[in-house]
Structure 1
């Protein structure tokens, strides 16, 4: 009886392995995309975003803070850096400091993403006056990146410690201090090479799905699929599917 049980389990295992192998070989590109990811649907979504951005930012700010806030967020998410966004950011960043923290923070983040050094003077004014830690953190990162007034990291570190007595227990400030004390060039030295990850023979002969995400999950990541034969799923134009 024990022998028969072993034979049955072996057969079940083989059937399961065959089914998995067959399923992997039948992997089809058209089954990997939802309707939303089709080119025409993505284009339609993009065009709708642009329309909403333009219409919202043409409204007066004082009665439409939420619409402006969402429009600027949307522009940042699709890297839309047209003049209407530049002008909107300039207008918001020149408003009374800390008047509307939600919009101020959004504008600072969008300026950091879309316009590398266009708003240094306005953002420096926010840095000098704002008591909002989030605004201060983004402002410092923006100014430090642009080497505004040739201030060193030590300058900003001392400023943070002098302004905030609780800097050592505040997660935002401790992370900001860490970034200032550890330049990006130094932090990235030990990052593994992605090519080594993709070429690693992990689960050889099986379908591997790589999910690559940013720290800020509001921004789109990548999904890359390696087929059982070691090649990557590609689009019709030969580019790697993601």
Structure 2
């Protein structure tokens, strides 16, 4: 009971380690990625000495609406660059579509669909399919220079939605490997008496061209097994491939 709790009463554990007291709150809201601690929701820097290539990396914060203002500020700081890299390789917990639409909206000229939804439960109950396209609208000063979006196995859920959205809109070169291949949108509920929370997938998600999101593969695909044979361990072949593509543009 001490370890598991009753799912209703927030627990506070106190103890001692190395002669020093400590306390922890295991029920406090968290992303539950115990091994990862990020100094910031968003990293921003320039990749070359001349400052012509901007770099924005989102650290697993696509579910935090505070990222919107931070992203706007960061994008303003690199607005005068000749190209930009948006790194989505550290977004395993996904996020929400508000943050995703806010990000995409800074790069587009007109309203357009960025992903397709399907509700299979309704078709199972009624025999009538329910499908729809989600639109994204332009927002704020637009970044118009070439853009590369980096993805990988830890690009999950809404990170995957961002990638297929940028691809559908033709606004960025998506570079990297397969993504997390999560199979749709989950809805969250809580049992009324025990307070136990649970999630299950409800919507299937697709590229606007009808391809299942989990089947999407970047058009600029990087085979890490092959590049590891010729690159030093410290190399980042996905980033290097993106930079080579931006240089050509």
- Structure label with greater radius of gyration: 1
Higher relative contact order (CA 8 A, sep 6+): 2
The TM-score with structure 2 as length reference comes to 0.28
Q: When you count strand as a share of all residues, which structure comes out higher?
A: 2
The TM-score with structure 1 as length reference comes to 0.29
Q: When you count helix as a share of all residues, which structure comes out higher?
A: 1
